[in-house]
Amino acid sequence: MCIRAHLGSAALALSLALPAAASAADRQPAQPLFFVTAVGSAGTMAQAINNAGTVVGNILPSSSPGAPEGYRAFINNGFGMRELGTLGGAGSYVTALNDAGQVLGVAQTSSGESLPFLYSGGSMTSLGTLGGISTGVTGINNSGYVVGYSYPPEDPDPTIDTGPRAVLYPPGGTIRTVGNLPFPNPYSSAADINEDGDIVGYSGPFGPGDAPYYPFLFADGVMTRLGDIGGSFNAATALNDFGQVVGYVSLPNELHDRHAFLYADGVLTDLDGRSSPSYSIANDINNLGQVVGASDVLGAFIYEGNRMQSLNAMIDPSGGWRLESAHSINEIGQIAATGFKDGQYYALRLDPVPEPSGMAMTLAGLLLAGVVARGTKRPPSGAA
């Protein structure tokens, strides 16, 4: 039972099957708030964006095999879309990147084995495993610390079934487990890590069928359960450098209804608030507290100003895009998203449209910085 693959498939299914809902949330502003740029060809999905505006994502398979078999990972750093390759096999699937341009994912080997990889400087390197049957990587910070999950070797006792373990890969170090919440026969998976080394993910009691799971924050050596709203299927997906956490929580007695949440200052807040049936998931949060994700009604959304807002209401409708899911947001508000147009999915980058006053202030600031730089710059050694 691959818990991470199960969750990933559910999120992918949501992001690629949202109805083209029309509501008051989709009413267009007088001026668009985001420019839309396709960073992938037809049949691609965005996954993450860094502060340089580089976007990574995946070319979708023509059929529906699991990752990474039918997928191919790509990167677009402003010079066109480029595939990352594999570890000798047929497919690869990207999950995250940092500001140094290091990319995480899972790729097939020539023997058909799927292994986690780190892509840096044009080359792909396997990160290894805990010796178990499956390992995945999900987050990386700017210091190169990687988190994910790994299944340990199977227990020789066939009556004992164990789940995955949240893991941490220190740069140049040895993979190690992070821990779990205090459940019998526990399992856990890490989803993201911030610059302080705080980690988020989910943990629960492993068992047959749909095993429950709950969001955690691991900070200063202590793993804390973040809470829920009464349901059994809950996970933290991302956090920022201030310890604010996002993810999803399930409704009581509902298997498929889930709501985006924000955890801040010790309080978990349901960002959606609707009754069943309803579905939303928060995928990322930046240091400004802006949250992005996907909803069955809004499509791709951004949460700011204490409310979820459809990103479809913030773009020029003449472009013909329907934004399905917002996957990642950087510190200047650029968003990696997946959109639908002319019967095809595309990996997109959304760039905030500067306000005229903001543009003037930015220009003035750049001019002032130039004056200060010219006044303080020292001549080269030996110059008059």
Domain boundaries, the chain: 3-374
Mean pLDDT of 251-279: 94
Whether pLDDT at 362 is above 90: no
Give the end-to-end CA distance of the chain in Å, rounded to a whole number.
72
- In angstroms, the CA 134 to CA 211 distance is 18
Contact 217, 236 (CB under 8 A): yes
How many C-beta atoms surround the C-beta of residue 142 within 10 A? Answer: 13
**Which ranges of 160-317 does DSSP label H, i.e. alpha helix?**
none
Return the C-alpha torsion angle 279, 18, 58, 200, nearest 10.
Answer: -10
Reported as a pLDDT band with limits 50, 70 and 90, residue 53 is: very high
Per-residue burial over 345-370, b if 16 or more Cβ lie within 10 Å, else e, is: bbbbbbeebeeeeeeeeeeeeeeeee
Amino acid symbol at 282: A
Q: What is the pLDDT of residues 168-187, one digit of tens each?
A: 999 988 889 999 999 998 99
Whether pLDDT at 155 is above 90: no
pLDDT at 5: 39
- Residues β-bridged to residue 272: none
Reported as a pLDDT band with limits 50, 70 and 90, residue 66 is: low
Residue 260, token pair as written in the block: 């985006």
CATH class of 3-374: mainly beta
pLDDT at 145: 97
Reported as a pLDDT band with limits 50, 70 and 90, residue 207 is: confident
Spell out the residues 6+ positions from residue 37 whose beta carbon is closer than 8 angstroms to its own: 348, 349, 350, 351
